[in-house]
Chain A
């Protein structure tokens, strides 16, 4: 999967879980500050991403995933 494909899959998840406008989702956006994904929604996003990409994202790793780009990098590394 390319970075763009992962971003676009994450955008679908973010929209489904937290109502984020898909067009606003890009690698440089912060989940909390830019996309207003609160911590409970982030848990849901992580669960959905784990299912989608077949990876495991441990809790201690989630706090390092500040931006969408951080998540893309982690998913690529773990897949």
Chain B
């Protein structure tokens, strides 16, 4: 029999909250976390807005460990500390504890900082911790050290699908009996001059600089690109019997996952959403669910003109007419796009939505694009009854990575 996987702890550090509770409250209130970048380093950038976390990582981490981490890893470790403690800091044989944690961009800020030191002060001044700070598995490895995981530490890297892929990987790790608990999630912190210039150069970013809070507007006719955000999300995935035996609180069930790749283009989504549709269908099959079981989708919906439409086509082709009864939301309208942290944070929203029976709103939705015919939790939270239903979280990444995670309430 397949080992069932439940969620026993949540962590989130986002532009709208320093933890899950604050993030959830602000999400229900429709609060935007997008601000104007006023520092001089942002001068001349096409996009001068971003979603920034509102705490100093040093208020949570000790100074010495923090100086050995890139900011992206710092945020990830903070989210994991919250999730781990929320799960009751489980007493587990560490050889049965795994990590699946990723990042889309990783230690770019550290690269830039050390490259500056290299050029201004010379090769012998480059920090000896640079390599462990910039390697793509850095966040996963530090999270592994944080909880003492010995079953395996894995770091999927699939751009903006990264942390959804991490949840899918964690699910499989427990199903395959390699672990009883997996810390899954992802992080990003690359709000810096190069990353913004580079994404802007692709014409991927909103340039609504004079109205930061209105810039991220998935599904709206006036959307003009995504808004970059920093943040991290973490989920404690646990084999159900293991969780029940220790009397853990259970948020919900990870019932299945689906993954595919477009095989189409390095950055653009396949315009008909064929790859994404296959990921959604696979998630349903893996969950033993029908299209009509789906009550809610936390969409990838980044607020780019083409991406939002391709995802609608994917949802439509995967669910058919059953899509009419699904409440869709795009929480990036509030948080901005957390890249490697997006899938995990949005899974937190999806799980909380099922548990609380409330879907957080998609804000800034004044004129819904007529090409996107879905029922959206438009500007207000939407009440649902999640009993016996499933909710999906879509995440897609540059490179054509498509991931869909399915959750149920019990």
Chain A positions within 8 Å of B, measured between CB atoms, are: 17-19, 40, 43-44, 47
Q: Which 7 A-B pairs have the closest CB atoms?
A: A19-B64, A43-B128, A40-B128, A44-B128, A40-B129, A18-B64, A47-B125
Q: List 12 A-B contacts (CB under 8 A).
A: A17-B64, A17-B67, A19-B62, A19-B63, A19-B64, A40-B128, A40-B129, A43-B128, A44-B127, A44-B128, A47-B124, A47-B125
CB pair B129 A44 closer than 8 Å: yes
Grouping DSSP codes into helix (H, G, I), strand (E, B) and loop, the B interface class, with mixed when no group exceeds half, is loop
Q: Whole-angstrom distance from the CB of A27 to the nearest CB of chain B?
A: 23
Point out the residues of chain B lying under 8 angstroms from A43, CB to CB: 128
CA distance A17 to B67 in the complex (A): 8
CA distance A68 to B408 in the complex (A): 59
Point out the residues of chain B lying under 8 angstroms from A19, CB to CB: 62-64
Which of B125, B127, B128, B129 neighbours the largest number of chain A CB atoms within 10 Å of its CB?
B128
Point out the residues of chain B lying under 8 angstroms from A44, CB to CB: 127-129
CB-defined interface of B127-156 with A at 8 Å, one 1/0 digit per residue?
111000000000000000000000000000
CB-defined interface of B33-68 with A at 8 Å, one 1/0 digit per residue?
000000000000000000000000000001110010
Point out the residues of chain A lying under 8 angstroms from B64, CB to CB: 17-19
Point out the residues of chain A lying under 8 angstroms from B63, CB to CB: 19
Q: Residue of A at shortest CB range from B125?
A: A47
Point out the residues of chain B lying under 8 angstroms from A18, CB to CB: 64
Point out the residues of chain B lying under 8 angstroms from A17, CB to CB: 64, 67
CA distance A38 to B314 in the complex (A): 52
Q: Whole-angstrom distance from the CB of B114 to the nearest CB of chain A?
A: 13
Q: Whole-angstrom distance from the CB of B124 to the nearest CB of chain A?
A: 8
CA distance A62 to B62 in the complex (A): 28
CA distance A47 to B122 in the complex (A): 12
CA distance A33 to B67 in the complex (A): 23
Q: Give B91-136 interface residues, CB cut-off 8 Å to A.
A: 124-125, 127-129
Q: Whole-angstrom distance from the CB of B282 to the nearest CB of chain A?
A: 43
CA distance A43 to B125 in the complex (A): 10
CA distance A19 to B63 in the complex (A): 8
Given A17-B67, A44-B127, list of 9 further CB < 8 A pairs? A17-B64, A18-B64, A19-B64, A40-B128, A40-B129, A44-B129, A47-B124, A47-B125, A47-B128
Q: Residue of B at shortest CB range from A41?
A: B128
Q: Residue of B at shortest CB range from A39?
A: B128
CA distance A43 to B67 in the complex (A): 14
CA distance A40 to B128 in the complex (A): 6
Q: Residue of A at shortest CB range from B126?
A: A47
CA distance A19 to B62 in the complex (A): 9
CA distance A68 to B125 in the complex (A): 22
Q: Whole-angstrom distance from the CB of A60 to the nearest CB of chain B?
A: 14
